[in-house]
Amino acid sequence: MTSNYLLHQAIKRNAQATPNNVAVRFAKEHLTYLQLYQKSNQLAHCLIANGVRRGDRVGIFMFKNIYSAVAIYGILSAGCAYVPLDPFAPLERQEHVIANCDIRILVSHDRKTADVQALAKRVSLSAVIGLSEPLPGSTTTSWPEVFKRSTQEIQIHLTEQDLAYILYTSGSTGLPKGIVHTHRSGLSFATWAQETYQLTSNDRISNHAPLHFDLSTFDFFASALAGAATCIVPEAVTKFPVSMAKWIQDEKITVWYSVPYALIQMLQRAKLSQDSFSNLRWILFAGEPFPTKHLRELMHLLPCIRFSNLYGPTETNVCTFYHVPNLADDSDEPIPIGIACDNVEDLVVDIDLHPVLPGESGELLIRGGVVMKGYWGAPELTSKGFFDRPVNDQFFDRFYRTGDLVQKREDGNYRFLGRKDRQVKTRGYRVELDEIENALLALDDVQEAAVYPVTDGEGSNLIKAAIIPKLENNLTEDVLFSELRRILPPYAIPVEIEIRSEFPRTSTGKIDRRALQIVNK
């Protein structure tokens, strides 16, 4: 059999080789690889009947359910790119995404009927698939009607360079920007992940991340390459750490992948012990730094499980990784982001895009198969996002500029220093906001911390911070200031430290610093 060069080919291969193996699980439902292959083809036939062509963008607008995988692979099988819409985001954001990449067809389900009806008054939709109730002005096809169609594969000539998915993330202006990935970039990451984490058909992989978050591509695509089962975490379970810990045990999850926040919540609320997660062999985390003190505690509680830090902006999938060793009890050194993945070249440059000397800090640039094609409908943004290094007078190497500052340690692993745009000037000094966050997180009584700039009205910035103390702790602002003065220079001390019970968060679980910044302007 020929090797995969399209993301959905793994489903066909598994349907032929292991048709009865479970491909996806959700609550008490599951689909085998044969069922997933057949239902994906039926959706593809429905999409073709509604006029899609190769390269069209099709929106996925649904809460997590058993058809999430059918939507992904059906859209890919029709030669289109899937565009996941955040089901919890305001309709204004959905409207922007739909208009921005010219989505004409949505794949949804009955739980989103009211929202789809509201959207249809704002944008023009030629068809909606998955609703039982007809939508005026659009062709509507219910799921039972979809599954009456042919299960035969549609023959569409595609290559690895064709569009596969577009993920929208918030831009610096607050408007979402569409990050375009091809079958090649998605498959390059999935192949590396499947090999690195030794995924097999015996694995049961968690899907904690929503479809519009890039972590989900590991859950579905790396799993499919291995013939493993993707187990979708129900939304209700994600809201309760005790329930989530029980779900991992009940579902016999072998590989867990999420942002650190989900793991910290389970650590602090689920009473984990050495006997927790008896089937789990590897915990992967990404999305934001994992406070060392919390990770060390989790590793002590779960000594038989391996831990890995995966790094990479959505534009590169994952581009570096670090297998975490035992952590020293007397060190709060931030966890490295590791070394470059296979088939990836890393380059660190100064402000003038000149390579820095070993050990010096600079911006991390990445090239290789995992890198996006560009930003949808934003050629200027795409141009600014890349750096072309001449090879000779004929060709050049194209690197994606991550905007992240790093420093290579003596052992070859990168230390993450923070965002280039998280470096601000205050009181005449240049300050790294992430350095202040790390100082706060190093304090024993601080559970989470966020640091952000606000304008001083005179062309410069003031620094403010917010923290969540450990449970049942009477931490005061005076104590925090006193501790920080022992660690940071005077100009880096925030003008205010707010003690909160919770943070605003994005739909992917990250701290929403922009929301904090807006509230505290």
The verdict on 30 and 121 lying in the same domain is: yes
- CA-based end-to-end distance of the chain: 60
Sign of the torsion formed by the C-alpha atoms of 373, 377, 381 and 383: positive
Question: Does residue 67 have a pLDDT over 50?
Answer: yes
CA distance 354 to 339: 20
Residue 303 lies in a domain: no
**CATH code, 164:** 3.40.50.12780
Contact assessment for residue 100 and residue 178, using Cβ atoms and an 8 Å cutoff:
yes
CA distance 76 to 79: 5
> Tokens 């995966």 belong to which residue?
310
The verdict on 460 and 402 lying in the same domain is: no
Per-residue model confidence as pLDDT tens digits over 340-383: 999 999 999 999 999 999 899 999 999 999 999 999 999 999 99
Last residue of a domain, one of 393, 417, 441: 417
Average pLDDT over residues 18-36: 97
The verdict on 161 and 40 lying in the same domain is: yes
Average pLDDT over residues 283-295: 93
**CATH code, 349:** 2.30.38.10
Q: Which residue has the higher pLDDT, 162 or 510?
A: 162
Residue 502 lies in a domain: yes
CA distance 249 to 378: 44
Residue 241 lies in a domain: no
Report the pLDDT value the prediction gives residue 407, as an integer from 0 to 100. Answer: 96
Residue 135 lies in a domain: yes
The verdict on 412 and 431 lying in the same domain is: no
Residue 371 lies in a domain: yes
The verdict on 169 and 55 lying in the same domain is: yes
- Lowest average pLDDT, out of 68-72, 271-275, 335-339, 471-475, goes to 471-475
Last residue of a domain, one of 373, 395, 417: 417
The verdict on 391 and 438 lying in the same domain is: no
Question: Does residue 390 have a pLDDT over 80?
Answer: yes
Question: Does residue 174 have a pLDDT over 60?
Answer: no
Residue 334 lies in a domain: no
Last residue of a domain, one of 182, 204, 228: 182
pLDDT band at 428 (very low <50, low <70, confident <90, very high): low
Torsions phi, psi for 498 (to 5 deg): -90, 130
The verdict on 369 and 445 lying in the same domain is: no
The verdict on 393 and 479 lying in the same domain is: no
Residue 331 lies in a domain: no
Structurally, how many domains does the chain consist of?
3
Torsions phi, psi for 128 (to 5 deg): -130, 130
Per-residue model confidence as pLDDT tens digits over 262-282: 999 999 999 998 889 999 999
The verdict on 38 and 178 lying in the same domain is: yes
The residue range of the domain holding 360 is 344-417
The verdict on 30 and 175 lying in the same domain is: yes
pLDDT band at 93 (very low <50, low <70, confident <90, very high): confident
pLDDT band at 172 (very low <50, low <70, confident <90, very high): very low
The verdict on 454 and 496 lying in the same domain is: yes
Question: Does residue 457 have a pLDDT over 90?
Answer: no
Question: Does residue 171 have a pLDDT over 60?
Answer: no
Per-residue model confidence as pLDDT tens digits over 296-335: 999 999 999 999 999 999 999 999 999 999 999 988 899 9
Task: Report the chain's mean pLDDT, rounded to a whole number.
Answer: 93
Question: Does residue 5 have a pLDDT over 50?
Answer: yes
**CATH code, 487:** 3.30.300.30
Q: What tokens appear for 253 in the block?
A: 């999850």
The verdict on 178 and 44 lying in the same domain is: yes
Residue 265 lies in a domain: no
